[in-house]
Amino acid sequence: MERHELKKIHDNLYEIPKTGQMKVPGRIFADAALLSTILADQSPEQVRNVATLPGILRYSLAMPDMHWGYGFPIGGVAATDIKTGVISPGGVGYDINCGVRLVRTDLRHSDVRDRVRDLVGALFEKIPCGVGSRNAIPKLSLSELDRVLVEGAAWAVKNGFGTTDDLEHTEESGSLPGANSDKVSERARERGRAQLGTLGSGNHFLEVQRVDEIFEPAVADAFGLQEGSITLMIHSGSRGLGYQVCDDYLKVMARASEKYGFSLPDRQLACAPVTSREGKDYFGAMACAANFAWANRQIMMHLGIETVLKTLQISPRNLGAKLVYDVCHNIAKFEEHTVDGKKRMVCVHRKGATRAYPPGHPLVPRAYRAVGQPVLIPGDMGRASYVSVGTEAAMEETFGSTCHGAGRVLSRHKAVRAAKGRSICRELEDQGIIARSRGKRTMAEEMPEAYKDINNVVQVMHDAGIARKVARLKPLGVIKG
Amino acid sequence: MELMQGRRLADCPHSRYTANHRGRGEARIGQEQAEMAREDQIDEQLYETLDHTADIAVRVRGDTLPQLFENAAYALFDTLVELDGVAEAREEIIQVDGADLAELMVTWLNELLFLWESQLLLFKRFEVTELTDTRLTARAWGELFDEAHHALLTEIKAATYHQLRVEKVGTRWSAQLIFDI
Domains observed in chain A = 3-480 (3.90.1860.10)
CATH number at residue B167: 3.55.10.10
Pair A188, B158: CB distance under 8 Å: no
CA nearest to A443, candidates A463, A472, A423: A423
- Whether residues B11 and A436 touch (CB distance < 8 A) is answered with yes
Longest dimension (CA), chain B: 51
Pair A182, A323: CB distance under 8 Å: no
* Sequence-distant (≥ 6) Cβ neighbours of residue B158 within 8 angstroms: A94, A243, A246, A247, B110, B113, B179, B180
DSSP states of A321-343: -EEEEEEESEEEEEEEEEETTEE
Contacts of A121 in chain B (CB under 8 A): 9
CA atoms of A170 and A477, how far apart (whole Å): 24
Pair A282, A289: CB distance under 8 Å: no
pLDDT (tens digit per residue) in B101-121: 999 999 999 999 999 999 999
- Whether residues B145 and A69 touch (CB distance < 8 A) is answered with no
Element (H, E) at B177: strand B172-180
CA atoms of B172 and B145, how far apart (whole Å): 34
- Whether residues A443 and B4 touch (CB distance < 8 A) is answered with no
Give the other-Cβ count within 10 Å of B100's Cβ: 11
Nearest to B54 among A69, A125, A251 (CB): A69
| pLDDT beyond 70 at A123 | yes
CA atoms of A476 and A432, how far apart (whole Å): 6
pLDDT (tens digit per residue) in A290-312: 999 999 999 999 999 999 999 99
- Whether residues B116 and A443 touch (CB distance < 8 A) is answered with no
CA atoms of A332 and A350, how far apart (whole Å): 6
Contacts of A420 in chain B (CB under 8 A): 18, 20
CA nearest to A281, candidates A362, A180, A359: A180
Measured between alpha carbons, how far is residue A342 from residues A80, A337, A338, B136 in Å? Answer: 15, 8, 5, 52
- Give the domain extent around B160: 2-180
Element (H, E) at A396: helix A392-397
- Please report, for chain A, how many H helices and E strands are present, in that order: 17, 19
Interface confidence, given as ipTM, is 0.90
Instruction: Looking at the complex, report in whole angstroms how far the Cα of residue B125 sits from the nearest Cα belonging to chain A.
Output: 20
User: What 3-state DSSP class applies to A25?
Assistant: coil
User: What 3-state DSSP class applies to A49?
Assistant: helix
| pLDDT beyond 70 at A73 | yes
**CB-neighbour burial class of residue A340 (10 A; exposed 0-12, middle 13-18, buried 19+):** exposed
pLDDT (tens digit per residue) in A17-72: 999 999 999 999 999 999 999 999 899 999 999 999 999 999 999 999 999 988 99
CA nearest to A199, candidates A281, A293, A269: A293
Total number of domains in chain B = 1
**Residue A441 binned pLDDT confidence (cut-offs 50, 70, 90):** confident
Measured between alpha carbons, how far is residue A285 from residues A146, A153, A298, A350, A380 in Å? Answer: 11, 16, 20, 17, 31
Contacts of A200 in chain B (CB under 8 A): 155
Computed over every residue of chain A, the mean pLDDT equals 96
pLDDT (tens digit per residue) in A155-199: 999 999 999 999 999 999 999 999 999 999 999 999 999 999 999
Edge-first strand order for the sheet with A7-10 is A7-10, A13-16, A26-29, A60-67, A74-81, A342-351, A330-339
Nearest to B117 among A68, A71, A191 (CB): A191
CA atoms of A283 and A332, how far apart (whole Å): 8
Element (H, E) at A387: strand A385-390
**Residue B169 binned pLDDT confidence (cut-offs 50, 70, 90):** very high
Q: Scanning every residue of chain A, which has its alpha carbon at the shortest distance from the alpha carbon of B164?
A: A267
Q: Scanning every residue of chain A, which has its alpha carbon at the shortest distance from the alpha carbon of B115?
A: A191
pLDDT at A425: 95
Instruction: Looking at the complex, report in whole angstroms how far the Cα of residue A243 sits from the nearest Cα belonging to chain B.
Output: 6
| pLDDT beyond 70 at B3 | no
CA atoms of A481 and A478, how far apart (whole Å): 10
User: What 3-state DSSP class applies to A320?
Assistant: coil
User: What 3-state DSSP class applies to A266?
Assistant: coil
Which amino acid is residue A159, in one-letter code? Answer: N
Contacts of B154 in chain A (CB under 8 A): 131, 201-202, 412, 439, 441, 445
Give the other-Cβ count within 10 Å of A421's Cβ: 6
Pair A410, A445: CB distance under 8 Å: no
**CB-neighbour burial class of residue B30 (10 A; exposed 0-12, middle 13-18, buried 19+):** exposed
| pLDDT beyond 50 at B34 | no
Lowest mean pLDDT among A219-228, A300-309, B46-55, B159-168: B46-55
Instruction: Looking at the complex, report in whole angstroms how far the Cα of residue B157 sits from the nearest Cα belonging to chain A.
Output: 6
DSSP states of B65-89: HHHHHHHHHHHHHHHHB-GGG----
User: What 3-state DSSP class applies to A70?
Assistant: coil
pLDDT (tens digit per residue) in B108-155: 999 999 999 999 999 999 999 999 999 999 999 999 999 889 998 888
Q: Scanning every residue of chain A, which has its alpha carbon at the shortest distance from the alpha carbon of B108?
A: A247
| pLDDT beyond 80 at B9 | no
Instruction: Looking at the complex, report in whole angstroms how far the Cα of residue A440 sits from the nearest Cα belonging to chain B.
Output: 5
Which amino acid is residue B54, in one-letter code? Answer: A
**Strand A322-328 relative to strand A330-339, pairing:** unpaired
Q: Scanning every residue of chain B, which has its alpha carbon at the shortest distance from the alpha carbon of A93?
A: B180
CA atoms of A31 and A236, how far apart (whole Å): 29
Instruction: Looking at the complex, report in whole angstroms how far the Cα of residue B4 sits from the nearest Cα belonging to chain A.
Output: 7
- Alpha-carbon dihedral of residues B4, B9, B14, B19, nearest 10 degrees? -60
CA nearest to A148, candidates B31, A137, B43: A137
User: What 3-state DSSP class applies to A151?
Assistant: helix
Contacts of B49 in chain A (CB under 8 A): 413
What is the Cβ-side half-sphere exposure of residue A451, based on CA atoms within 13 angstroms?
A: 25
CA atoms of A292 and A196, how far apart (whole Å): 8
Helices (H), A113-170: 116-126, 142-151, 153-158, 164-168
Nearest to A94 among B53, B81, B180 (CB): B180
CA nearest to A300, candidates A158, A199, A207: A199
Which residues sit opposite B91 in a β-bridge?
Answer: B141
CA atoms of A231 and A171, how far apart (whole Å): 19
User: What 3-state DSSP class applies to B94?
Assistant: strand
**Residue B44 binned pLDDT confidence (cut-offs 50, 70, 90):** low
- Whether residues A135 and B120 touch (CB distance < 8 A) is answered with no
Contacts of A441 in chain B (CB under 8 A): 14, 20, 153-154
CA atoms of A31 and A14, how far apart (whole Å): 9
Nearest to A67 among B14, B41, B54 (CB): B54
Nearest to A200 among B56, B151, B155 (CB): B155
Task: Kindly state the average pLDDT of the residues A127-156.
Answer: 93
pLDDT at A204: 96
Instruction: Looking at the complex, report in whole angstroms how far the Cα of residue B116 sits from the nearest Cα belonging to chain A.
Output: 8
pLDDT (tens digit per residue) in B48-75: 988 777 788 999 999 999 999 999 999 9
Contacts of B13 in chain A (CB under 8 A): 437-440, 443
- Whether residues B155 and A202 touch (CB distance < 8 A) is answered with yes
| pLDDT beyond 90 at B33 | no
- Whether residues B13 and A440 touch (CB distance < 8 A) is answered with yes
pLDDT (tens digit per residue) in B10-19: 333 332 222 2
Interface probe with A: pick from B79, B111, B162, most Cβ of A within 10 Å = B162
- Whether residues A70 and B118 touch (CB distance < 8 A) is answered with no
Which residues sit opposite A472 in a β-bridge?
Answer: A213, A386
Which amino acid is residue B179, in one-letter code? Answer: F
From A4, A404, A413, A462, the catalytic residue: A404
Q: How far is CA B160 from the centre of its chain?
A: 14
pLDDT (tens digit per residue) in A375-433: 999 999 999 999 999 999 999 999 999 999 999 989 888 999 999 999 999 999 999 99
Q: Scanning every residue of chain A, which has its alpha carbon at the shortest distance from the alpha carbon of B177?
A: A70
CA nearest to A353, candidates A210, A464, A461, A199: A461
CA atoms of A478 and A435, how far apart (whole Å): 5
pLDDT (tens digit per residue) in A231-252: 999 999 999 999 999 999 999 9
Contacts of A70 in chain B (CB under 8 A): 55, 160-163, 178, 180
| pLDDT beyond 70 at B36 | no
Pair A481, A204: CB distance under 8 Å: yes
Instruction: Looking at the complex, report in whole angstroms how far the Cα of residue A341 sits from the nearest Cα belonging to chain B.
Output: 36
Nearest to B3 among A41, A121, A134 (CB): A134
Contacts of A437 in chain B (CB under 8 A): 13-14
Task: Kindly state the average pLDDT of the residues A135-152.
Answer: 94
Nearest to B180 among A70, A267, A444 (CB): A70
A404 is catalytic: yes
